Amino acid sequence: MNPDEPLDVRRPRGRKPAAAMEVVAIDANSASLSPPSRLSAEEATVWRESVASVKAGWFRGSETVLETFCRAVIVERRLGLRLRDLDPADERFAVLARMHRNEAMLVGNLAGKLRLTVRATRDRETIKRAPTASFYDIMALGDPDGQN
């Protein structure tokens, strides 16, 4: 404790009463972010999937970047579908391929900024979700039917 610190900021001394131990703290950041109404249905789906994939409060302060990410994902998907249906000999193919590449790079860049990529969450102190058993852990347990 810093003696220069005001008294009202210090934690109370001594044991906590039993009533205080029964109080459950409510995390204000635990509420899920709702997609803005200006997003299309597809973009709102990407928003919900992105928010559900990380812990609560992950996107606090970066909602505009998340909105841009959702729009970019949908544009990239649409360009990919159009590109797949186009013949490589078509004169529009090169232009569409360049647009798709740029949009895919934007999605990757924004995903990194939002720390959605695997590489962005390799830090031991940053956990996106509570750890669960991996595929290999489950396979090591054996087949529940007793065939393994």
Q: What is the pLDDT of residues 88-97, one digit of tens each?
A: 898 999 999 9
Would you say residue 23 has pLDDT above 80?
Answer: no
Predicted TM-score (pTM) above 0.85: no
Q: Which of 20-29, 36-45, 97-106, 120-129 has the lowest mean pLDDT?
A: 20-29
16 or 35: which leads in pLDDT: 35
Would you say residue 123 has pLDDT above 70?
Answer: no
Mean pLDDT of 26-49: 81
Q: What is the pLDDT of residues 75-92, one digit of tens each?
A: 999 999 999 999 989 899
Name the band, by pLDDT with cuts 50, 70 and 90, for residue 13.
confident
Residue 128 neighbours by CB distance under 10 Å:
14
Name the token pair of 129: 């979700």
- The closest alpha carbon to 114, from 33, 26, 30, 28, belongs to 33
Name the band, by pLDDT with cuts 50, 70 and 90, for residue 117.
confident
22-51: b (≥16 Cβ within 10 Å) or e: eeeeeeeeeeebebeeebeeebbebbeebb
Q: What is the pLDDT of residues 51-61, one digit of tens each?
A: 988 888 888 88
SS3 content of the chain, % helix, strand, coil (to 5): 50, 0, 50
Whether the CB-CB separation of 42 and 67 falls below 8 Å is answered with no
56 or 45: which leads in pLDDT: 45
- The closest alpha carbon to 71, from 96, 103, 118, belongs to 103
The CA distance from 127 to 30, in Å, is: 15
Name the token pair of 51: 């928010």
